[in-house]
Structure 1
């Protein structure tokens, strides 16, 4: 897995399209399966991922370079005892920096600096990358170019730091005992905590058993960061559960843990009924599939930081609201 970490680190070090294309040809399967989130969707060949997802992004940015906050690897831990199918994953997250020099996704270039939040989960077979789940924080990007299609965020905008008190770029495997402690806390939080909401009070989930009072919750654009456990409950959890009171985590298909940190790419693996208003959109009564990526940092017996992506474009499409179309109409 150390090799997988290095391959991922080398991928993020590629700074021009020609260099990146050569790297992809060497390390990625031609039948590479990708889940890029909306508006790109998914596919099963490397050429489309390059031409439809990555090359347009890097063509839009001049002086593009990655700032990696989190990088680790591990085997899938999708069973209650921490075992799994031994699928190998490596993940990275942070900022993609650049000057917005050319149009992208129908948005006009501003020639101003951008910091695009990104997250990738790559699946390996031997030393070849065969699949990925990737997220770009589209709403955060739209906020930076003053085309935010959502109401003002409850949390603080533009906060997505590296882990506190820990080098999140871990190029070697971490202690197995700490890895298992992290897994157990996460598994208990998801299935004995989040999934036990009684539809009435947040206290029914006992979230205080899993999170530090000074929790730092780095939410996506549209929600923003919450700088304490109390803020997390008031600014995110309460509005979320009004909108999606029966939401349920269905599984942990690619959860990996490495020492004190863990992460999961959840592609349509949260299911909910849209039973109340959310960010300006009234309830539709529809059953929704929600996608995103999470990272958690454990210190002692609780989580102290949580970085989260939610595919809002996909989510709002299911709520019959075209976020990107509305955002494009806001351009000067």
Structure 2
């Protein structure tokens, strides 16, 4: 597998423009016409990856029926509050495919129940990260990750069996306020970002292979600034600095879960100082010692994960994470959605 973005000149602007037109079409869509709006820019056979309970869908009509129509029936006056937008060539297919990533919140008035989550008639912020594959002027593939547990907490629910170890926040965009890469970026910066992400991905295996593995602080310091910010999903939460990241996420994760199998990614890319990836699933693990309040078991469970990064200088500074927690927990016999209202 090639691990450096090739020197060939590829214009990513048409792909970005297509996705921005797509979002403009969705801006005033309704539950009744959203399938038609999706069909304006999605290929008829667009393959859509949606977190539990939406699952995989094909084509605008099924995508609308699974997610967009129910969402727009529950939320009114929806705004896309976008914090990060970038495009890139997909490392996973040898830098052939063009993908566009968008991340932020879908904000609206939560006026009717959604998936059994009670309406609040107040502002609600649905965290999202979306990857769109663009081919021949159409969107041919989409992965949409939304943080439903985060929404449940806003609605006053306590859906988990244990307090999360880090902070619950409506998460902001980048510290530098430069995450909307609507224009072309320096290819050299893109290569540096992807290289650092790849170094970080391999750091765990490299550390484990050493006769004297580094401490967690030493391992993380190779790829991260000391004042790193890890914007984790609801159920884990957000944490700040290497030491607090270890305390509030890495240590509970590594001590609670075992048998980590890395399954790979479907897309991994970078542009400028931003980059990210998603997998389906990224990881398979065993809850061997108890995690998120769920009792230990021998069940192998999948984590579908999005990671989006900001690089500052030669290291990573911020990381936004989405995990399909509902799917991960349901595989262990814990159905969070089914438990609402019991």
Q: TM-score, normalised by structure 1?
A: 0.92
Question: Counterpart in 2 of 1:136?
Answer: 146
State the partner residue of 1:75.
89
Q: State whether residues 29 and 37 of structure 2, in contact with CA within 8 Å, keep that contact through their aligned partners in structure 1.
A: no
Q: Say if 1:260 and 1:298, in contact at 8 Å, map to a contact too.
A: yes
Aligned to 1:214: 227
> Is residue 44 of structure 2 the alignment partner of residue 41 of structure 1?
no
Name the counterpart of 2:136: 126
* Cα distance in 2 for residues equivalent to 1:209 and 1:65: 39
Q: Relative to structure 2, which stretch is displaced further, 302-311 or 108-117?
A: 108-117
Q: Which residue does the alignment assign to 2:122?
A: 112
Pair 1:202–1:10, CA change in 2 (3 A)? farther
- In the alignment, structure 2 segments of 5+ residues that lack a partner are 1-11
Counterpart secondary structure, 1:246:
strand
- CA-to-aligned-CA distance 1:138-166 (integer Å, 9 cap, x gap): 11001001112112222111241111214
Residue in 2 aligned with 1:279? 292
Cα deviation, residue 253, structure 1: 2.5
Corresponding residue number in structure 2 for 1:54 = 68
Q: Give per-residue Cα distances to partners, 1:274-324, cap 9 Å, x unaligned.
A: 222001112112222210211011101111100000000010011111111
Does the Cα contact within 8 Å between 1:273 and 1:286 map onto a contact in 2? yes
* Aligned: 1:244 with 2:257: yes
Moved more, 14-23 or 160-169: 14-23
Partner residue, 2:247: 234
Q: Distance in 2 between matches of 1:173 and 1:248?
A: 36
Aligned pair in 2 of structure 1 residues 239, 214: CA closer, same or farther (>3 Å)? same
Q: 2:305 aligns with which of 274, 292, 304?
A: 292
Is 1:27 the counterpart of 2:41? The answer is yes
On the 8 A contact 1:196/1:204 being kept in 2, the answer is no
- In 2, the alpha carbon distance for the partners of 1:213 and 1:229 equals 5
Equivalences for 1:310-329 in 2 at 5 Å? 310-329=323-342
Quote the Cα distance in structure 2 between the aligned partners of 1:71 and 1:19: 26
Q: CA deviation at 1:173?
A: 2.8
Partners of 2:242 and 2:284 lie apart in 1 by 24
**Alpha-carbon distance between aligned partners in 2 of 1:164 and 1:130, rounded to the nearest angstrom:** 32
Is 1:152 paired with 2:168? no
SS in 1 for 2:280: strand
Task: Quote the residue 1:10 is aligned against.
Answer: 21
SS in 2 for 1:42: strand
The equivalences for 1:69-108 within 5 A come to 69-78=83-92, 84-108=94-118
Would the aligned equivalents of 1:213 and 1:228 in 2 still touch at CA under 8 Å?
Answer: yes
1: CA distance, partners of 2:257 / 2:275:
25
- CA drift at 1:96: 0.6
Q: Provide Cα deviations, 1:220-269, integer angstroms capped at 9, x if missing partner.
A: 11111102111111101111111223324332331010011101112112
Distance 1:96 1:12 in 2: 12
Total equivalences in the alignment: 324
TM-score w.r.t. the length of structure 2 is: 0.89
Query: Is residue 2:312 matched to residue 1:302?
Result: no
* Deviating more after overlay: 172-181 vs 30-39: 172-181
CA distance in 2, matches of 1:103, 1:295: 30
Deviation at 1:102, TM superposition (A): 1.2
CA contact (8 A) 1:117 1:137 kept: yes
